[in-house]
Amino acid sequence: MSNLSEAELIHKFKGISFTTRSSPELLNSLDTFDAREDDVLLVSYPKSGTHWLAGVITKLYNTPVTLTTPIELGDMSKLEELNQLSSKRIIPTHLDYNMLPQHFKNKKCKMIYISRNPKDTAVSMYHYYRENPNLPTVDTWTAFLDLFLEGDVVCGSWFDHFLSWEEHKNDKNILFLFYEDMKKKYKNFILPVSQNLSKIVKEISIFLGISISDEDIQDICKKSSFSEMKKDTEKENSDPSHTVCALTSNRNLIFRKGTVGDWKNHFTPKQNLRFDEVFSEKMKLSKMAKYLTYEF
């Protein structure tokens, strides 16, 4: 819970809310960032599994890689810091596609977009808001759900974020991952993470052009369960240089439950109906949404 006012914690950039840990000057200068062709971007809306994905991907490489903090996190010194890092850089971001630095697009860097059920995302963000001193205080789940559905939360609307990336679903340099089941496999989407981990790891390695044995894949899977990663995080000190989340430097806040379907413990039937109505309206032109299954 924070003692600071909302104005001290949040600012708007291009109509989207960011924490003050992402400076307006940095956000305004992102297009000057010089991406490298071998950069790998890990993309997600907050609370969608970026830490888990980062843990898997860094284990795939047998050569040195640098997992950075999110590109939008920091002040103007951030771009120079990233510039001085040796390749290969694994760079997380919560930016929507339209705000992504242009050089990543021009150089067709590999990007992995990970998503989860937005109802679970909303619940995770609610708890995150309540526990994170870098975010405004929210009193009730009901109040937070209103903010989430209106897109008046950090990183903006889940729906807009998802749709901005979906527009590029056929780009060969972008891979989409989902935690939940889909009714069918849809082009370069891999799923479900929660049930098919070895297949996921294999296909991520193919996408990234990494040769890896089945034995190594099994080893990575064992080390990549939610509980194992949570344990690893709890052993380490809170260190801003380790987080891949743009909202906190406290790694102990990153992992909560990691379960699929926790939304059922929070949504009333009326809230669920309202969410479904908003989802149907916002996602009516979405091709991917037609294949998503949000009942478990």
Q: pLDDT band at residue 256, thresholds of 50, 70 and 90?
A: very low
Comparing 183 with 15, which gets the higher pLDDT?
15
pLDDT at res. 223: 79
Q: What is the pLDDT of residues 119-145, one digit of tens each?
A: 989 999 999 899 888 899 898 999 999
Q: Domains plus CATH for the chain?
A: 15-291 (3.40.50.300)
Q: At what angle do helices 197-208 and 214-223 cross, to 10 degrees?
A: 120
Q: Which is the catalytic residue, given 94, 127, 161, 266?
A: 94
177 neighbors 113 (Cβ within 8 angstroms): yes
For the question of whether the overall pTM of this predicted structure is more than 0.95, the answer is no
Q: What percentage of the chain exceeds 90 in pLDDT?
A: 58
Nearest to 13 by CA among 90, 94, 99: 99
Active site residue 11: no
**Residue found under tokens 């937070």:** 144
Residue with tokens 């082009």: 187
Which two structure tokens, joined as six digits, stand for 153?
């939360």
Question: Do 239 and 249 contact (CB within 8 A), yes or no?
Answer: yes
Residue 8, pLDDT score: 85
Q: Is 60 exceeded by the pLDDT of residue 247?
A: no
Judge contact between 60 and 205, C-beta under 8 A: yes
Q: Is the pLDDT of residue 288 over 90?
A: no
Query: What sign results for the dihedral spanned by CA atoms 198, 224, 228, 113?
Result: negative
Q: Looking at 82-192, which runs of residues are DSSP E strands?
A: 89-93, 110-115, 174-178, 189-190
